[in-house]
Structure 1
């Protein structure tokens, strides 16, 4: 089994986490008011206001005349990226909430950029022992459930380009074994889903399915994450069915949006 990539710090600093998540929201989605950010972070408006004030001071955010905070010069957000991520996230959130209501496990939406997978939306479950929000976090694509599903949609030539050796000259240990990866991706294509057992984070199991566009290409990945002590392999098919149902509903919504 691969060594887990990320382990939460033993002494997390809530204020730092709030600031980082706020900056990510502004970068990916284009803007938020104090009230909107407070709701997203699960904090009081006064706390959200202090976080935003510090981001403005350090040029991570700017406040417009409409009182909306947006990404500042440090973040250098590309407008086209904002549009795509914002549209995907807005369409996906109701479906993520429905999966959480049904299964009571944290649910997320991820997209792939090159050899990385990024969480663009995450809804936490209500259980005391749970996987926290991963929104804004970036992992190597081959170490995440959704990332693997999105890689499985590539041709052999495209996969070779993503993992070209010259891109890993300074970090050869980060490049996966392509022969082994291809074998795994073929299996995922047949199955139509992926299971990640502590591959990205210790103590975490995730199950995922692809979200496809109208041409059938994998656009994003929908995943369900839970503590490994709560994962029951006998429930796998029911978990996949629930995720497939949500993914298909999201696909219909995206198709209607054009």
Structure 2
């Protein structure tokens, strides 16, 4: 197997904004908590420039702001590679249905999978209305704070939830939830199972709410979900029977497509094995 090489030579046409964003990631990785003034000084850029760069990194989940207003590494910075062609197949199979749902609701729709304690947005179908939620594709967020993550965690056995959020590994990973927060999560997951969808109100992003439904995927594949993201003031409108009906119809349609694809794969495997 050919080894990958690291290119240390500076490119002939460097993009300074990209280089500065990457340098901030290195700072967060190596130094822990930092302030914008420190970042601006290290990069030798204006405070406003450093703030804009950090805001984009926060938007994509590569940085977070702690209680003392300092910036720390976000979940996307340490997230492992999924390493599966299934995610590309999933995007291709679900895109037509999600695009149609987006056009009918006139709201942004996200396709998400869960990897451990993280929810990863694989694809965003962005609405065209003026007041809309933007593209979050590639974002990595704490699963228990998002509608998509909750829709998936609702199908995780209690023992596994305890390992994810209460075990020694959770303490080391920084995902440990105290008694009250863990009990609140369990209550919310039970509500999610009963009504068939998960919701969040600004837990993941200020001013943003979402409603998500799970997608049953073939055995051995990452379970997925899609969510409708809206300005928080429009969340109640999603509960209208016609809009919920569209969401559940899309859910059934996609599950049927995924099952058909799985059946086709099984048939091809059986024929190739003869």
TM range (shorter): 0.5 to 0.7
* Contact 1:208–1:224 (8 Å) recurs in 2: yes
Cα 1:245–1:218 change in 2 (3 A) is farther
Correspondence for 1:159: 161
Correspondence for 2:236: 232
Q: CA deviation at 1:231?
A: 3.3
Give me the whole-angstrom Cα distance separating, in 2, the residues matched to 1:246 and 1:174: 35
Correspondence for 1:69: none
Give me the whole-angstrom Cα distance separating, in 1, the residues matched to 2:136 and 2:183: 30
Give me the whole-angstrom Cα distance separating, in 2, the residues matched to 1:118 and 1:229: 25
* Contact 1:223–1:243 (8 Å) recurs in 2: no
* Contact 1:211–1:250 (8 Å) recurs in 2: yes
Correspondence for 2:141: 139
Q: TM-score, normalised by structure 1?
A: 0.64
Q: TM-score, normalised by structure 2?
A: 0.61
* Contact 2:117–2:175 (8 Å) recurs in 1: no
Q: CA deviation at 1:174?
A: 5.7
Q: How many residues align?
A: 186
**Structure 1 vs Structure 2 CA RMSD:** 2.8
* Contact 1:197–1:205 (8 Å) recurs in 2: yes
List alignment gaps of at least 5 residues for structure 1.
Answer: 1-14, 21-74
Cα 1:109–1:173 change in 2 (3 A) is closer
Out of 177, 182, 186, the residue aligned to residue 182 of structure 1 is 186
Q: CA deviation at 1:131?
A: 0.3
Correspondence for 1:211: 215
Correspondence for 1:57: none
For residues 79-135 of structure 1, the C-alpha deviation after alignment (integer angstroms, 9 at most, x for no partner) is 973311111111111111001110110001100010110000110001011100110
Correspondence for 1:198: 202
Give me the whole-angstrom Cα distance separating, in 2, the residues matched to 1:105 and 1:142: 23
**SS of the residue 2:84 aligns to:** helix
Cα 1:174–1:137 change in 2 (3 A) is farther
Give me the whole-angstrom Cα distance separating, in 1, the residues matched to 2:238 and 2:258: 32
Matched, 1:242 2:246: yes
* Contact 2:107–2:126 (8 Å) recurs in 1: yes
* Contact 2:197–2:214 (8 Å) recurs in 1: yes
Q: Which of structures 1 and 2 has the bigger CA Rg?
A: 2
* Contact 1:212–1:218 (8 Å) recurs in 2: no
Correspondence for 1:99: 101
Give me the whole-angstrom Cα distance separating, in 2, the residues matched to 1:183 and 1:92: 30
Correspondence for 2:9: none
Give me the whole-angstrom Cα distance separating, in 1, the residues matched to 2:205 and 2:80: 30
Return the structure number with greater relative CO, CA threshold 8 A, min gap 6: 1
Q: CA deviation at 1:214?
A: 5.4
Give me the whole-angstrom Cα distance separating, in 1, the residues matched to 2:131 and 2:176: 31
List alignment gaps of at least 5 residues for structure 2.
Answer: 1-16, 23-76, 263-274
Cα 1:84–1:230 change in 2 (3 A) is same
Correspondence for 1:118: 120
**SS of the residue 1:82 aligns to:** coil
Correspondence for 2:110: 108
Q: CA deviation at 1:149?
A: 1.0
